């Protein structure tokens, strides 16, 4: 089982989209056939039984999927019955491709990400959903999210459950209270200067002195103020997401000459400098270099970290692994008036394999899941944004303070459609990531790193 959903990191994982092949989709045309009703009892008198392959990966999400299946089965009693087949992200591709090749015997509904669903469709594995769609169904998801689930020939190959993840600052309320720090709110955001200043107050040695105070012992720190994960992936995804928020553009895009390159715009330099200097400032420990997600969560839980940087879905992870832990979340550092950027090709949903004998009934369940009440239940357990924003006004999410930041993000979000260079993964792995990590560790200045990256970036990105 994966530690994180495949589409994340997402994380504002917005810039992780550059690792996901971007298929330019055209809006889906109207269905060419009348929707097929699936609400009548079968002629046999027995309900149609459907298998649902779920990739729910926390105990909370798994339990919620069972609850949703029970709710659906009660509403469609005697007509359709859904049974959960618990799977995982690591096995879902083999499950579908092997099952199709073997002629069937797999679930009627399979949960996956858009980046996986599109290749399945191109291989001829999936059912076109248009015959089962109505105007009412289309209204449950924005046009750009439908477009992300639509192939170039107009086929709608996937429904929607959630969109991309967003980055949050998780904090220990007791630690901030002791330091006299008010957390950021949508009405009173923190800048990067605010975050670093507060992180210094939260970085304490064994005698209780904070970073910057006379006599502070940097060799005996018992609580660090801010602990993000630092590795090749994170200095691309997270630093890139902050850069994009400051500039409105991804780090890598085509220049005026039509060539791919990385661009370090002046507006994005302060956030890149702040992000890559955290270890050298001392608010983040050197152990953050190469830190895994589980170790980061443990540091947060035990009090070694007063604040951490994680995606939204980690709310569910912490609640599952540390049910007694009291934590809260707040918006990431940003300037007033800033936007939260996202792309149109990220998210999760359901597909119907070609081998399904009951596509109409399967579609009934899939689109039932896009209704606000079900969306709220699903998002409350998965902690990823619902495709149907009306779910945010359902009591289950409306009364949960952890979702206040998501409502704020949704109020300032902006869609960005970008092209994708297939050479980005190699560029990040071989040049950008290792070079920026030298900045994090103090072996290069940011300007030295930029000069080194720019010297070879075009060659790699346009090869």
Altogether, the residues listed in the chain come to a count of 463
Check pLDDT > 50 for residue 11.
Answer: no
Q: What is the pLDDT of residues 210-250, one digit of tens each?
A: 999 999 999 999 999 999 999 999 999 999 989 988 998 88
Kindly list the structural domains of the chain, giving each domain's residue range(s) and its CATH number in brackets, ordered by start. Answer: 13-164+344-415 (3.40.190.10), 167-339+420-461 (3.40.190.10)
Tell me how far apart the alpha carbons of residues 38 and 53 are, in angstroms, rounded to a whole number: 20
- Which segments of 276-327 are extended strands (E)? 307-311
DSSP code for 13: G
Check pLDDT > 80 for residue 103.
Answer: yes
User: What percentage of the chain reaches a pLDDT higher than 90?
Assistant: 76
pLDDT score recorded for residue 34: 41
CB burial class (10 A; 0-12, 13-18, 19+) of residue 305? buried
Mean pLDDT to the nearest integer, 106-110: 98
Tell me how far apart the alpha carbons of residues 248 and 114 are, in angstroms, rounded to a whole number: 24
pLDDT score recorded for residue 447: 97
pLDDT score recorded for residue 42: 56
pLDDT score recorded for residue 164: 77
Check pLDDT > 50 for residue 24.
Answer: no
pLDDT score recorded for residue 29: 38
What sign results for the dihedral spanned by CA atoms 61, 134, 72, 375? positive
User: What percentage of the chain reaches a pLDDT higher than 70?
Assistant: 89
pLDDT score recorded for residue 50: 98
Check pLDDT > 70 for residue 445.
Answer: yes
The strand pair at 80-86 and 48-54 is best described as: parallel
Give the mean pLDDT of the chain: 89
pLDDT score recorded for residue 344: 54
Q: Give the count of beta carbons closer than 10 Å to the beta carbon of residue 197.
A: 16
Q: What is the pLDDT of residues 309-350, one digit of tens each?
A: 998 889 988 998 999 999 999 999 998 888 888 765 578 999
Check pLDDT > 80 for residue 36.
Answer: no
Q: What is the pLDDT of residues 352-405, one digit of tens each?
A: 999 999 999 999 999 999 999 999 999 999 888 899 999 999 999 999 999 999
The band of 43, judged by pLDDT with boundaries at 50, 70 and 90, is: low
Tell me how far apart the alpha carbons of residues 31 and 149 are, in angstroms, rounded to a whole number: 15
Task: For residue 211, give Cα distances in angstroms to 142, 175, 204, 219, 441.
Answer: 47, 15, 6, 11, 19
pLDDT score recorded for residue 281: 98
> Which among 294, 313, 400, 329 has a CA at the least distance from the CA of 170?
329
Q: What is the pLDDT of residues 173-212, one digit of tens each?
A: 999 999 999 999 999 999 999 999 999 999 999 999 999 9
Interaxial angle between packed helices 433-440 and 269-276, expressed in degrees from 0 to 180 and rounded to the nearest 10: 70
């Amino acid at each position: 089982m994966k530690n994180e959903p495949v589409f994340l990191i997402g994380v504002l994982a917005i810039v992780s989209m550059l690792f996901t092949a971007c298929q330019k989709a055209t809006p889906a045309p109207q269905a060419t056939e009348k929707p097929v009703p699936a609400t009548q009892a079968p002629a046999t008198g027995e309900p149609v039984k459907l298998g649902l392959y779920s990739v729910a990966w926390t105990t909370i999400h798994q339990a919620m999927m069972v609850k949703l299946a029970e709710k659906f089965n009660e509403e469609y009693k005697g007509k359709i019955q859904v049974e959960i087949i618990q799977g995982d992200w690591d096995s879902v591709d083999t499950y579908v491709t092997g099952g199709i090749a073997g002629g069937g015997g797999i679930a009627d509904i399979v949960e996956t990400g858009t980046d996986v669903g599109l290749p399945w469709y191109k291989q001829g594995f999936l059912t076109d959903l248009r015959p089962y769609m109505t105007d009412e169904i289309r209204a449950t998801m924005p046009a750009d999210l439908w477009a992300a689930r639509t192939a170039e020939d107009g086929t709608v190959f996937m429904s929607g459950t959630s969109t991309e993840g967003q980055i949050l600052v998780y904090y220990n309320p007791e630690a901030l209270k002791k330091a006299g720090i008010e957390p950021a709110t949508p009405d009173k955001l923190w800048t990067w200067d605010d975050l670093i200043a507060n992180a210094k107050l939260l970085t304490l040695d064994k005698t209780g002195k904070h970073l910057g105070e006379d006599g502070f012992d940097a060799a005996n720190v018992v609580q660090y103020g801010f602990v993000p994960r630092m590795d090749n992936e994170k200095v691309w995804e997270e630093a890139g997401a902050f850069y994009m928020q400051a500039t409105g553009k991804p780090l890598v895009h085509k220049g005026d000459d039509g060539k791919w390159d990385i661009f370090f715009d002046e507006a994005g330099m302060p956030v890149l400098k702040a992000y890559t200097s955290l270890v050298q400032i001392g608010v983040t420990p050197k152990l953050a270099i190469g830190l895994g997600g589980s170790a980061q969560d443990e540091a947060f839980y035990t009090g070694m970290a007063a604040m951490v940087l994680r995606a939204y879905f980690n709310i569910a992870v912490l609640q599952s692994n540390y049910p007694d832990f009291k934590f809260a979340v707040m918006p990431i550092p940003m300037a007033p008036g800033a936007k939260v950027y996202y792309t149109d090709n990220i998210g999760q949903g359901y597909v119907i394999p070609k081998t399904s004998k009951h596509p109409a009934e399967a579609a009934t369940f899939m689109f039932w899941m896009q209704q606000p009440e079900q969306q709220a239940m699903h998002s409350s357990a998965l902690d990823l944004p619902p495709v149907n924003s009306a779910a945010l006004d359902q009591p289950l999410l409306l009364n949960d303070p952890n979702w206040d930041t998501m409502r704020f993000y949704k109020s300032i979000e902006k869609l960005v459609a970008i092209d994708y260079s297939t050479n980005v993964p190699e560029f990040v792995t071989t040049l950008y990531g290792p070079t920026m990590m030298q900045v994090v560790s103090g072996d290069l200045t940011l300007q030295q790193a930029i000069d080194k990256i720019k010297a070879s970036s075009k060659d790699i990105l346009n090869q």
